[in-house]
Structures are given as structure tokens and as C-alpha cells.
């Protein structure tokens, strides 16, 4: 790849991302440090017109005030300093960024305005924020909210003059469309290395692929790609959930494990063990692709099909038997013909609660949060998906439910009533509600006292949990049949389990009450 020359007194769009699309920011502290280093190494060498930091990439719009040699060395020092500090903090080695930072010379006022709007709207395109004014790590706030602390100085007056007035600046940003953003990305891609934009279906972007039609490249770039938007969403959601659960536990931290699937794709597994609250748990994301295995082609009734699947799956097994186990999963699936065209796609997911000692208030709270999320999108969703959850999480060989249910939905496809964007909004609404549904229960029950016999009961009931996952669960079976990563798939299994021969709870006990309800699912709200 021939890199564009940096010339003094010219404007540039500078951008790059993590190697293999890996995160380059795990926390807001990382982003703050990144901006601080930028100011240290480049503050007197460039004028900044706009910037935005996302989980795995960044953008700057700058005017260069130094000759190429000085500027290039300063950028190199900046990236090396951040990568070194980040690797040390995250206990990782190797390259953090793609090999060369990308730069696109901006040669007109119109293009400059469009690039600035594109950069400021980046959080919206990646499904991170509803309103760009709410996104902290974008220079848009410098124009609208006037934050008191600014790590990077913005050429605010010049930019506003470029848009004529502040009001016009706001209006044009609000009206900025995905088509405009595509124009920006097309110009950048045609001048930069396409290797990093390998599409998630596993099709390499060789030189011939630069000749694909506009719709195909639009999907490649990802601004109207459901799979890219949803994958970005689950990456962010994983960070949010992990951070909150570590706070709730107060002791243990999630250990991260990045893995690759030989046939295509990979994932980011995060596991917590031996904490104050969580004995074992995992919050995992994955994005896998390739040829659909024969067994799955038979299942779907297709031939010679390729697929892409991504999702977030979590299971938490608390130590205290008074705190319920919880499971959640939100996923997206695409199937392709031999030409790479999407022939089918759908969303799926849900969340369910598995108590060992039943507190009715906990079940009611969990279901009410689920219902509230559903009601925002359709009045029938909660009743329908609650019923499907009761049916799905049913241990047929035991004739009882795994827990007290929640939501379960699958094969959510585009229809006259619901577009794929509508389904995306519904699924992400449910995902965003998860912490509200579970954390208050944990906080209320985690300090309750329990006996050895109650702990034994918890381990016996965990055996039923294991039985369901290994015998009935579709997600487990899909992972095993598509050569998924075994450690991540079986992360859902609890660490201590008992199988006691012909065990029956004592008559009239809380244990018996739980079993009776599991054998006869009830409506909680």
C-alpha cells in the first residue's frame, strides 16, 4: 500500500483501528490517556478540527503545521507510546494498531465539512449513542456543550465559520445521512488499504472486489450492514456488563481470552471465578463465519451455504444459593449463497432466571423488566416470548422447567410489521435492560446467610442446569457442530455440581415449593 504524503499546511483525515479489529480502548481511562498523549506528541504540530474515539478505532481531522518527516515521527511516537502503555496494562504483547495509520488528504471545503460531520456522527453509525451530543469522546461536545476540561484543543471558530453559523453546524450534523458517510468512506477506502476491511462473511477484499457495485461496497463498509452494527453493539455491551458485574462482586475480575476459529472468525471470552458473589461466570462475544457444516445445512434445508453468526452469551453462577443463576443471549445470523448474497437472516435471544430458593418478588421484578422492554416495541411480545421461554427451557426428561423463565425469541426476520432495523432496536432494548433485571436481585440477596444443606440443594439443582445445556440447548449444540471453541461453549457449566440418586425434597419445604412451580410454570406479571 502506498501511503499518502503528509504535507505542511494541508488538511487530512487520519484514522486507524486495532489489529484484526481488536479493541484499542477497554475503558474511558484508556481514551483519556490516548487524548493526553495525542496532545503531548502532536498538540503543537497539528490543528485539530474534529475527532472521535470508538472501541476499536479512531478518527482525527487535522491541519498539518510541520513538514512530513517531523509529523510522521511525531505520529509514530504517539502511537508507540500508547501501544506500549496499553499492552502493559492489559498484559498483552504484539502490535496494537494496523501497520500504518491511514491518512486521506482533504482538498475541498465541501469534503472537509463532510469529513467533520462523518467523524462526529461515527457513534451513531456504529449504534453506540442515540444522540451524538451524549457521546463523550467526540469533539462534537466541544462545539455544543463547551466541556470545561478539554484534553485536545479544537479549532472551534474556524470550523463554525466553515459551516457559516453554529446553528447551521447543528442542523447539518443532524441531517447528515448514511449516504453522505458512505461517500466519505468510499473516498478513503479507494486511497487506503482495503486489507483491513475483510468482510465478516469471510470473503477477502482483493483488488477485484474494489469493482463491486455501490450496494456491495456499502455493505462492506458497514454503515448499513446489520451484522457490523450488531457486532459493534455487543462489543460495547460486553464492556458495560463486565464493568458493572465486577463492581457488584467487589473482588474478582474478569479474565479475557481472545481466540480464533480456524474456519473463520473468533471471539472474546471473559470469565470471572471465585469472587465474593460470583463463583463462576462468563460474558462472551463471538463472530464466526464460513461454510455451514453439513449437519446444519441439513437442519436448515439448504445446500452449499455459507454463514455469519455473532452474539453475546452470558451465564452467572453465584456462590450464595439465595442468589439465582442467570443466563442471557442476544445473537444475529446471516446465511449466504455461493455468490455471497444474503439469502436469510434473523435475530434471536432472550434471558432467563434460575433460582435455587424462590423469592416471588425477584421473579416478579425480573419479568417486569422484560415486559417493559417488550412493550416498547409490541404489546404482544412479552406474552409471546415469555411463553416460548417456558417451552424452550423445559427439561423434557425431567418434566420440569430449568428456572422461572423470562424471554426467548428466535428466527426474528423481516416482515410487513417488523423490519430488520425494528428487530435490531427490539433486541438491543432487551440487551440494554439486562443489568436492570438482574443486578437489583443480586444486591438484595448476596449477603443472606445460608446453610450447608442449602448449598447442597443448590448443587443438586445445578445438575439439572447442566443436563439442559448438554441435552437440549440449541446454542451449545450449534457451537459444537460448527467447531466452536469448547472452553467458551462449556463456560456455562457451574464449577460444583451434584447428582444424588433419586433425590426428593422434604415435604412442605421451600425446596419442594420451588420444584412444584418449576413443574407448573406461572405468570409472574
**Active-site residue list:** 327
Are the CB atoms for 105 and 12 separated by under 8 Å?
yes
Query: What separation, in Å, do the N-terminal and C-terminal C-alpha atoms of the chain show?
Result: 60
Residue 354 phi, psi dihedral angles, 5° rounding: -125, 90
Other CB atoms within 10 A of residue 287 CB:
23
The Cα-based distances of 382 to 11, 368, 434 in angstroms read 52, 9, 15
The Cα-based distances of 36 to 32, 70, 150, 167, 292 in angstroms read 6, 19, 10, 30, 46
Identify the CA nearest to 310 among candidates 279, 283, 282, 289: 289
In the three-class reduction of DSSP (H, G, I as helix; E, B as strand; rest coil), residue 338 is classed as coil
Q: What distance in Å separates the CA atoms of residue 244 and residue 7, rounded to the nearest whole number?
A: 46
Identify the CA nearest to 48 among candidates 125, 159, 195: 159
Long-range pairs for 171-178 at CB < 8 Å and ≥24 separation?
Answer: 172/113, 172/117, 173/117, 173/120, 173/121, 173/132, 173/140, 176/117, 176/118, 176/121, 178/125, 178/223, 178/224
The sheet carrying 46-53 orders its strands as 46-53, 57-64, 11-17, 102-106
**DSSP string of 14-31, one letter each residue:** EEEEBGGG--S-SSHHHH
Q: How big is the CA angle at 450 (ends 449 and 454), to the nearest 5 degrees? A: 165
Strands annotated E in 18-82? 46-53, 57-64
- To which residue does cell 444522540 refer? 131
Strands annotated E in 77-219? 102-106
Q: What distance in Å separates the CA atoms of residue 228 and residue 17, rounded to the nearest whole number?
A: 15
* CA dihedral sign, ordered 368, 369, 371, 376: positive
- To which residue does cell 453509525 refer? 125
Amino acid at each position: 500500500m502506498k501511503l499518502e504524503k503528509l504535507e505542511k499546511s494541508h488538511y487530512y483525515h487520519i484514522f486507524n483501528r486495532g489489529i484484526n479489529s481488536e479493541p484499542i480502548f477497554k475503558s474511558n481511562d484508556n481514551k483519556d490517556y490516548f487524548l493526553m498523549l495525542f496532545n503531548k506528541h502532536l498538540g503543537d504540530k497539528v490543528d485539530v478540527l474534529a475527532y472521535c474515539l470508538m472501541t476499536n478505532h479512531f478518527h482525527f481531522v487535522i491541519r498539518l503545521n510541520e513538514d512530513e518527516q517531523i509529523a510522521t515521527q511525531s505520529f509514530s511516537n504517539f502511537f508507540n507510546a500508547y501501544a506500549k502503555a496499553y499492552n502493559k496494562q492489559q498484559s498483552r504483547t504484539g502490535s496494537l494498531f494496523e501497520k500504518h495509520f491511514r491518512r486521506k488528504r482533504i482538498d475541498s471545503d465541501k469534503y472537509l465539512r463532510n469529513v467533520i460531520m462523518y467523524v462526529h456522527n461515527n457513534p451513531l453509525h456504529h449504534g453506540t449513542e442515540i444522540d451524538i451530543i451524549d457521546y463523550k469522546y467526540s469533539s462534537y461536545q466541544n462545539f455544543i456543550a463547551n466541556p470545561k476540561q478539554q484534553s485536545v484543543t479544537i479549532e472551534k471558530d474556524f470550523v463554525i465559520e466553515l459551516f457559516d453559523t453554529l446553528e447551521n453546524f447543528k442542523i447539518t450534523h443532524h441531517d447528515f445521512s448514511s449516504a453522505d458517510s458512505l461517500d466519505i468512506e468510499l473516498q478513503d477506502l479507494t486511497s487506503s488499504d482495503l486489507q483491513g476491511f475483510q468482510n465478516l462473511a469471510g470473503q477477502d477484499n482483493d483488488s477485484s472486489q474494489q469493482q463491486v457495485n455501490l450496494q456491495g461496497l456499502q455493505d462492506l463498509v458497514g454503515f448499513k450492514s446489520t451484522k457490523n452494527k450488531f457486532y459493534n453493539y455487543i462489543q460495547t455491551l460486553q464492556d458495560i456488563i463486565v464493568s458493572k458485574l465486577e463492581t457488584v462482586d467487589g473482588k474478582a475480575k474478569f479474565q479475557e481470552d481472545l481466540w480464533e476459529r480456524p474456519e473463520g472468525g473468533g471471539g472474546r471470552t471473559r470469565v470471572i471465578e471465585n469472587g465474593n458473589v460470583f463463583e463462576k461466570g462468563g460474558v462472551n462475544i463471538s463472530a464466526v463465519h464460513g461454510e455451514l457444516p453439513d449437519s446444519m445445512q441439513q437442519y436448515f434445508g439448504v445446500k452449499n451455504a455459507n454463514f455469519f453468526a455473532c452474539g453475546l452469551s452470558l451465564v452467572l453462577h453465584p456462590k450464595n444459593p439465595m442468589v439465582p443463576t442467570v443466563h442471557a443471549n442476544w445473537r444475529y445470523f446471516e446465511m449466504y449463497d455461493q455468490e455471497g448474497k444474503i439469502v436469510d437472516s434473523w435475530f434471536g435471544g432472550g434471558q432467563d432466571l434460575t433460582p435455587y430458593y424462590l423469592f416471588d418478588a425477584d421473579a416478579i421484578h425480573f419479568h417486569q423488566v422484560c415486559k417493559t422492554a417488550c412493550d416498547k416495541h409490541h404489546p404482544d411480545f412479552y406474552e409471546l416470548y415469555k411463553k416460548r421461554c417456558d417451552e424452550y427451557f423445559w427439561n423434557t426428561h425431567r418434566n420440569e422447567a430449568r428456572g422461572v423463565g423470562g424471554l426467548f425469541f428466535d428466527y426474528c426476520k423481516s416482515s410487513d410489521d417488523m423490519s430488520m432495523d425494528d428487530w435490531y432496536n427490539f433486541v438491543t432494548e432487551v440487551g440494554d435492560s439486562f443489568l436492570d433485571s438482574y443486578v437489583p436481585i443480586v444486591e438484595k440477596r448476596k449477603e443472606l446467610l445460608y446453610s450447608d444443606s442449602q448449598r447442597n440443594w443448590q448443587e443438586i439443582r445445578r445438575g439439572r442446569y447442566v443436563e439442559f445445556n448438554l441435552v437440549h440447548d440449541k446454542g451449545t449444540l450449534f457451537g459444537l457442530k460448527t467447531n466452536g471453541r469448547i472452553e467458551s461453549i462449556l463456560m456455562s457449566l457451574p464449577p460444583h455440581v451434584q447428582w444424588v440418586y433419586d433425590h426428593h425434597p422434604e415435604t412442605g419445604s421451600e425446596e419442594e415449593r420451588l420444584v412444584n412451580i418449576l413443574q407448573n410454570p406461572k405468570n409472574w406479571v
